[in-house]
Structure 1
Amino acid sequence: MARAGLWSALAFVLNLMWEIAQVRLYTIWAAADGMSVAWALLHCTLGDVVIALVMFALAGMVLWRADWPASLPWTGGAIVVIGAMAFTAWSEWYNVYRVGNWGYTASMPMIFGLGLSPLLQWLILPPVMVVVYRTLGSVLFGRHSTQSAIPTHEVTRIQP
């Protein structure tokens, strides 16, 4: 639980900063009052934390390692990036074009009709989270933080 807590805290701080930086690329910036914008920032950041936590758990299940950011950072990070970007691509399409929950300003860079900023968010932030997790995790969880409570299967090579 402590590992998921650290991951969630990192996700909250980094995604809140990203959401603040990109809010002007969405129509809510010009259309809503300050409290509505603040609520949207908090709401979107908490949604980002849920996405990050689900992807953290998914990577842990796939890799059979609760400590994957420390023990298998590249593989786990790739799982998080791919899963989060896929979900975000669907969510942006659905919320912009299907139900109209939000819209882009003319300033939003686009790729395949989707906002580039939210896609870059999930390409950039998970690797940053892994690096920070590895740094803080070694302090918080000790130097043996790469040992998982979940057993892994090692493959033994037979020499010819």
Structure 2
Amino acid sequence: MTAVPFTHVAETRNWLVTLRRYLVFSAIAHLLWEFAHIPLYTIWLSGAPGEIVFAAVHCTGGDILITLSTFTIALLLFGRPTWPQTQGPRVLLAALIFGVGYTIFSEWLNIEIREAWAYRDLMPVIPVIDAGLSPILQWVVIPTAAYSYALGWWPWRQRTLEATHG
């Protein structure tokens, strides 16, 4: 039996399945990220346990809305009827740019203007934009990992598919 090319598996993926996988992966990953990086914010020291949990869950809700918005805009601007088989990298890049751009704006607005939250000294801050490294990385790492998962772009998947069909 011949090996099934990995691209054939990705080409048969339905856009709705891909979108669902992206959103579910993103929601779970954002929840985990929020709990993991909350010690970098002052609420970790000043908030009661219930306030900390509420903040992480509340922020995850916002992350899900940002995920839906940035990905929808990316699909509207760069998607094609053949997505996800085509235009995959372009859609991902647009979603990353929109997500990071919104994050920079949101961090500035909520730290400098509204003073809704604050960083602890532990938070690495990116010079010039004065945004925390963790929230910026969150909007690079999670969408990239979610997109990879949704499309099956994992390096070990190709070897597994070839091994099972070979």
Tell me what 1:124 maps to.
Answer: 141
- The equivalent position to 1:43 in structure 2, one of 58, 62, 69, is 58
Q: What is the match of residue 89 of structure 1?
A: 104
Cα offset for 1:70?
4.6
Q: What amino acid does structure 1 have at the position aligned with 2:69?
A: V
8 Å Cα contact 2:19/2:150 also seen in 1: no
Pick 1 or 2: higher relative contact order, CA cutoff 8 A, min separation 6: 2
Map of 2:120 onto structure 1: 105
Distance 1:64 1:134, change over 3 A: closer
| 2:105 counterpart letter in structure 1 | W
CA RMSD of aligned residues (A): 1.8
Normalising by structure 1, we get a TM-score of: 0.78
Separation in 2, partners of 1:20, 1:99: 22
Shift in Å, 1:3: 4.7
TM-score by length of 2: 0.75
Contact 2:79 2:87 in 1 (8 A): no
Distance 2:73 2:51 in 1: 33
- How far did 1:21 drift? 1.1
Q: Distance between the aligned counterparts of 1:66 and 1:101, measured in 2?
A: 41
How many residues were matched structurally? Answer: 136
| Structure 1 residues 98-134: Cα deviation after superposition (integer angstroms, max 9, x where no partner) | 0110000000000132111100111111110111111
The share of aligned pairs that are identical, in percent, is 30
- Cα distance in 1 between the residues matched to 2:131 and 2:73: 25
Contact kept, 8 Å, 1:7 with 1:53, in 2: the verdict is: no
Show the 5 A alignment for 1:1-160: 3-65=18-80, 68-112=83-127, 113-135=130-152
Please list every run of 5 or more consecutive structure 1 residues that lacks an aligned counterpart in the other structure: 137-160
Q: Which amino acid aligns with 1:40?
A: A
- SS of 2:121's equivalent in the other structure is coil
